Amino acid sequence: MPASAPNVETPPQVRNANGELRRVGVEIEFANVNVLDSAGLVEKLFGGRQDPESEHRVVVRETRLGDFTVELDWQGAHKKKDSAAPAESEFDIEGNARAIAGHVVAGLVPTEVVCPPIPWDELDALNTLFDALRAAGAEGTEGGLLYGFGLHLNPEVAATSADYALRHLQAYAILEEWLRHEIDIDAMRRALPHIDPFPAGYLRRIMRDGYAPDLAQLIHDYATDNQTRNRGLDMTPLFRHLDEDTLLAALEDCSLVKARPTFHYRLPDARLSQSGWSAVIEWNRWLEVEKLAADPDRLAKRRRAFAEWLEKPVYERWLEAMPDPQA
């Protein structure tokens, strides 16, 4: 681990609703190291055994941290999970077509490593993987003009109430412009739709005094105003976990939404080309959201200030008007 690597900061709530230490999953996108070589690095660092589903998706099972999935981040290269097609072989026309298509797009779409959920206080265990990918030539967001690659964090929630979810939505919306500034979001990622901000109408809804929906109403309102997973904070996996029926009724396309008891924080760039960068850095930034959400009085003051700013002509950036997020 580099000497300059930051310590993993402690979240305001360290345990989940069952009293267990919260976990966090990490997904990292990059170019210039293929799926098979990346899976080999995972096995070398963490043990386990490789279980190839195809040359474009390998699951490294039973490592000391859990199961890793390494894949080409493009659905067209993979067999659908519910597909009844036979195993790929020289006679598997569909499978061979997917393999060829994967080779064609391999230089255009990233390799992705989906790490297993690990205890938050062990997040720095992934530093060795990031360093190994970097040493192998992996390129992150800044490695090319068209590289809109991201790092996704999936912090396990500490509670499952509507109030808990709403407070984190509000805190994230208040801090999003500050987070974008701190991360210094790459120009290509800003241009792509993957991390679009919440629409102004939805922000006005969740910031107004008296907005205290039950869980079903919170999910309905979110899905109605956000018919997409392309948000810096994507709540659809959590909401599908908490109330699948309500989400399915309100969201037009849930085909890629996996239910899980986590926030899906998609905002950070994948800065693999930057020495010393790691998931810990982005986790520590994310915790500013959790800290604000855990402080009702401070959150209420910030929420009202943000709601007032939303009604003003946009001559002044919220980043310039907002109070110090760490004050």
pLDDT tens for each residue of 178-223: 999 999 999 999 999 999 999 999 999 999 999 999 999 999 999 9
Query: What residues pair up with 15 in beta bridges, in sequence order?
Result: 21
Model pLDDT, residue 313: 78
- Is the pLDDT at 240 greater than 70, yes or no? yes
For 263, phi then psi, to 5°, come to -75, 145
210 sits in the region (left: phi over 0; alpha: psi -120 to 50; else beta) called left
Q: What is the pLDDT of residue 305?
A: 95
Q: Would you kindly state where each structural domain of the chain is located, as residue ranges?
A: 22-83+91-138, 155-327
Tens of pLDDT, residue by residue over 298-316, are: 999 999 999 999 998 766 7
Q: What percent of the chain has pLDDT over 70?
A: 87
Q: Summarize pLDDT for 109-130 with one digit per residue, the tens.
A: 899 999 999 999 999 999 999 9
Res. 79: pLDDT tops 70: no
Question: pTM of the full predicted structure?
Answer: 0.89
Residue 29, phi then psi, degrees to nearest 5: -110, 145
Rounded Cα distance, 11 and 274, in Å: 26
Amino acid 1: pLDDT: 43
pLDDT band of residue 29 (cuts 50, 70, 90) is: very high
**What local confidence, expressed as pLDDT, does residue 184 receive?**
95
What's the one-letter identity of residue 116? Answer: P
Give mean pLDDT, residues 281-299: 98
Q: Tell me the pLDDT of the chain averaged across its residues.
A: 90
Does residue 105 have a pLDDT over 90?
A: no
Report DSSP letters for 68-85, one per residue.
EEEEES-GGGS--TT--P
